[in-house]
Amino acid sequence: MARARNRPALVAHGGAGNAGPGVERPERRRGMMAAMRQGAGILRANGSALEAVVATVAALEDHPLFNAGYGSLLNSEGNVEMDASVMFAEPVAPGPSARGKRVRSDESDYTVSAGAVAAVSRVRNPIMLARAVMEHSPHILMAGAGAENFARKVGIRLERPEEMVTERARERWRARKQQAGILGAEAAARAAMGHGTVGAVAVDVHGGIAAATSTGGVPGKLFGRVGDSALIGAGTFAHAFGAASATGQGEAIILTALCREAVLALGDGSPQAVAREAILEMIDATGAEAGVIIVDRRGRIGYAHNATSMQVARYDPAGGLQHLWLAPIATARHP
């Protein structure tokens, strides 16, 4: 018997954090919608959720107003160091499978596979390198110069590190340094709480479920710091039940394994309820700011955050394409 076709859906985020300069909002909206059209086009043509999330995230990495790929913010030394990860859960026919780890849902067997890169400075699209790690290496996470060496081997072009630095990122870095001189490093980092990390989650008509996340990291980060966006289970997770991508203070997202917790909770609730609960639990545990987007295997969507603002866009066949500047959730548990 042929498998029922799933309802496709795609959600992307452009980061949770401060609202960012108002003058940049129209262009950030435009950039987000252009990226969504690429991802949604793939799903409409019955393409895979993996292709859709990678295309969406890569388009956002190419846009200089997002803190990922070209346009990433700079670390304490004034250099770009980027993290990215991708995970794909694919329904499989019974029998031995070529790749990935087998997991079960109530309805079918899935294989899950993942790839990630940390602290890379020389690739324009870290998400594509993360995908290459997943598809062409026996590993899941590669870092720094070794990851870049692997990029060269799989035919991904290496840039000179300075080619990844935009004038906007350089100016912000200078301003932050000045502020740190006046306020002290910690206060300056809090004041600069960034935005612009990108991520996407999708489900396709074949039942494939994927998540992808990419970032230049948090403002004021130390040279060598790696955040949640490189870590499967923290910033990115996909499983038979659904997929999630996170944004916000990476250390808190890592401590709470935010995306894995959220996806595994999908057995008990709607993506919207799960997203809200995941953020409330993160607040209880850490008091930090973060956001999450979720899709479940039925194509239902959820998102929540407790920062000042979060940029989100969504696509499903019923609602079409929509863009939102999402307000923070009410943080009382029983409002």
Interface residues with ligand ASP (CB under 6 A) are 15, 17, 194, 197, 215, 217-218, 227-229, 235, 247-248, 250, 253
- CA 323 to chain centroid, in Å, comes to 17
Q: What one-character DSSP code corresponds to residue 68?
A: S
Complex with ligand ASP: residue 197 or 306, whichever CB lies closer: 197
SS3 content of the chain, % helix, strand, coil (to 5): 35, 25, 35
Residue 77 CB, nearest approach to ligand ASP (Å): 16
Let me know: does 124 contact 157? Beta carbons within 8 Å.
yes
Residue 27 CB, nearest approach to ligand ASP (Å): 19
What is the helix (H) or strand (E) element at residue 162, kind and residue range? none
- Give the whole-angstrom CA distance, residue 198 versus residue 200: 7
Complex with ligand ASP: residue 199 or 299, whichever CB lies closer: 199
| CA distance between the termini of the chain | 47
Sign for the CA dihedral angle at 312, 316, 321, 327 comes to negative
Q: Give me the count of residues in the chain.
A: 335
Pairing status of strand 141-143 against strand 109-120? parallel
Complex with ligand ASP: residue 91 or 291, whichever CB lies closer: 291
Residue 261 CB, nearest approach to ligand ASP (Å): 16
- Give the whole-angstrom CA distance, residue 169 versus residue 72: 7
Residue numbers annotated as active site: 197
Residue 55 CB, nearest approach to ligand ASP (Å): 20
Complex with ligand ASP: residue 69 or 250, whichever CB lies closer: 250
Complex with ligand ASP: residue 125 or 229, whichever CB lies closer: 229
Q: Say which residue the tokens 């038979």 belong to.
A: 240
Residue 230 CB, nearest approach to ligand ASP (Å): 8
